[in-house]
Amino acid sequence: MKTTNKLFLFLCVSVCSLSYAHASDPFIQEWDYYDGVTTYKLSIRTSDAPGQNYAINYTLPNGMTGTSDPCTLTSSTSFQCVGGETVTRDDVNYRVQLHSLDGDFTFYDPKHMPTTENPIFGSWHYRVADSDGFVANHSMTISKGPHPNQYTVTPHYSDSNGGTCQIGSFVYEVKKNDDGTELISCDRHDWHTYYFKYDPYKKEISNPFPGQDFYPNPCSAVLAGSFADHFIYTK
């Protein structure tokens, strides 16, 4: 009986010590990146490789995913992975910065995720219906871009005749105007410069150049005229 008790105590101490070691490692957990629309994950765990520190799995916008094992500590707050990723921890702000081939992304401890988000993030819509029964739905989903002063815009179009347009996401540059509005544009070089104005006070997206053609994204184009000036997206 005494031997059994000692064995039980040894196993309990071993398991508890292992759990405590993981719990006390500030890297090892699941971290969240929220782009204003979707939450993406970075999971950091112990490496399966002998003598190595960590392994990571992550999801990123546009369906990008990554896995790296092993990863090795380069300082008390940073490690580098075999896939080229670097992870740096910021204990003051409860976050880690992932540098990867797909860009830089800031993941937060879910318990300390910032709650204040840009109100432009989300889905915007404009619906056209004529007297003949034709209906066209224009929409854009706007989320964080890969860098400050950038947004990621995902356009979509569908109509009652079966027409559709959905061609991926695009990075737009953001220029803040003195009146608080924003001029948001994307120079594709192959066709048009796409642009729109965001007015946080009116809570709408519209043509920034009244009287001119309006090209908000590759799925929507409105020729100059009164219709272009009244082509307004709302949430």
Residue 47 Cα distances to 28, 59, 76, angstroms: 11, 18, 17
Task: Look at residue 67 and tell me whether its pLDDT is greater than 50.
Answer: yes
Look at residue 25 and give its three-state secondary structure.
coil
Dihedral pair phi/psi, residue 14, rounded to 5°: -65, -50
Give the pLDDT confidence score for residue 227 in this predicted structure: 74
Q: Which domain holds residue 31?
A: 27-112
Helix H or strand E encompassing 10: helix 2-24
Task: Look at residue 214 and tell me whether its pLDDT is greater than 50.
Answer: yes
Same domain for 97 and 147?
no
DSSP-derived secondary structure letter, 210: T
The amino acid sitting at 138 is H
Q: Give every CB contact of residue 225 below 8 A, 6+ residues apart in sequence.
A: none
Domain-ending residue, one of 49, 83, 112: 112
Same domain for 201 and 224?
yes
Give the pLDDT confidence score for residue 204 in this predicted structure: 97
Same domain for 48 and 85?
yes
**How many Å apart are CA 95 and CA 119, to the nearest integer?**
22
Give the pLDDT confidence score for residue 170 in this predicted structure: 93
Residue 140 binned pLDDT confidence (cut-offs 50, 70, 90):
very high
DSSP-derived secondary structure letter, 37: S
Same domain for 82 and 139?
no
29 CB neighbour count, 10 Å cutoff? 16
Residue 97 belongs to domain with CATH number: 2.40.128
Mean of the per-residue pLDDT values for the chain? 87
Same domain for 222 and 126?
yes
Same domain for 221 and 142?
yes
47 CB neighbour count, 10 Å cutoff? 19
Give the pLDDT confidence score for residue 146 in this predicted structure: 83
Give the pLDDT confidence score for residue 17 in this predicted structure: 36
Give the pLDDT confidence score for residue 85 in this predicted structure: 96
pLDDT tens figures, 168-204: 899 999 999 999 999 999 987 667 799 999 999 999 9
Share of the chain above pLDDT 70, in %: 88
119 torsion bin: left (phi>0), alpha (psi -120 to 50), beta (else) = alpha
Give the pLDDT confidence score for residue 5 in this predicted structure: 45
Q: Give every CB contact of residue 39 below 8 A, 6+ residues apart in sequence.
A: 32, 33
Sign of CA pseudo-dihedral 32, 150, 143, 100: negative
201 CB neighbour count, 10 Å cutoff? 8
Instruction: Tell me the whole-structure pTM to 2 decimals.
Output: 0.76
Residue 63 binned pLDDT confidence (cut-offs 50, 70, 90):
confident
Task: Look at residue 206 and tell me whether its pLDDT is greater than 90.
Answer: yes
Count the domains in the chain. 2
Helix H or strand E encompassing 228: helix 226-229
Same domain for 101 and 132?
no
pLDDT tens figures, 96-139: 999 998 888 999 999 999 877 799 999 999 998 888 889 999 99
**How many Å apart are CA 95 and CA 114, to the nearest integer?**
10
Give the pLDDT confidence score for residue 195 in this predicted structure: 96
